[in-house]
Amino acid sequence: MILDRFRVEDRVAVVTGAGRGIGAATAIALAEAGADLVISARTEEQLRKVADEIEARGRRALVVPADLSDLDAAAALADTAAEAFGRIDVVVNNVGGAMPRAFMDTKPRHLGNVFQFNVGIAHALTRAAVPHLLETRGAVVNISSVMGRITGRGYLAYGTAKAALAHYTRLAAMDLAPKVRVNAIAVGSVATSALDIVMASDDLRTRMEQSTPLGRIGAPEEIAATVLYLASPAGAFVTGAVLQVDGGTDRPALDLGLPDL
């Protein structure tokens, strides 16, 4: 049956930034589809709650609290997963983000830090996981952003880093083919903690909804469903793709009100 192709039964997935939002929804979705999970983020309490959801679905969860901006800690996740579960089939690089800054406030060190946070961590973990992924003919899914494709004031560092992550995906897919598939999702406005201010304001939420052709803000589970497609046999003939899951967005959702030069 076609639905069986979306199963990841008895596979092992590593998900970063898994304490809440897209990462948590992704970990739970993969568990529902049959995977065991290694989940990592800074806050252990959040991870424990996600682990409870995974275990309630009959799957195993290994909680690894860590500051993954330490690239050695990010790389170590691969060996931790392999030692605990004996294999790695899926890596979901979900850690990322950056606060908006005006152009002149974006110092070179800010740009470098944002690049490392959004691209460096993904590379450190993926590189460490590749020997295991080669054995299982596994898959990597990177969480990029619509801001890697469109323009908007204040997003210089973040948009540049997410554009880099998207092209990193294409290049890594070529390097690792045919045994390891590498894909990305360019995420639009999704109701996570990053949008708490927006979701709490009727005016801001309405403006964001109106700027999205589908007329609404996305849900973390909608991104998780796309991750499952890319990570599962359903996506077995897809690599080097950056799927746009953004409600049709082609312009910034909000004017951040940054000062003119």
Write out the catalytic residue numbers: 158
| Cβ-contact 191, 219 below 8 angstroms | yes
Which parts of the chain fold into alpha helices (H)?
21-32, 44-56, 71-85, 108-115, 121-136, 156-176, 196-199, 202-210, 220-231
Q: Classify the phi-psi angles of 84: left when phi > 0, otherwise alpha if psi is within -120 to 50, otherwise beta.
A: alpha
**Tokens encoding 83:** 């030692």
Q: Quote the DSSP letter at residue 258.
A: P
Q: Quote the DSSP letter at residue 14.
A: E
Least Cα distance to 29 among 205, 185, 145 occurs for: 185
**Tokens encoding 119:** 């691209």
- Cis check: omega of the bond before 213, within 30 degrees of 0: no
| Cβ-contact 158, 151 below 8 angstroms | no
Q: Residue 111 — φ and ψ, nearest 5°?
A: -60, -45
In whole angstroms, give the CA distance from residue 88 to residue 230. 15
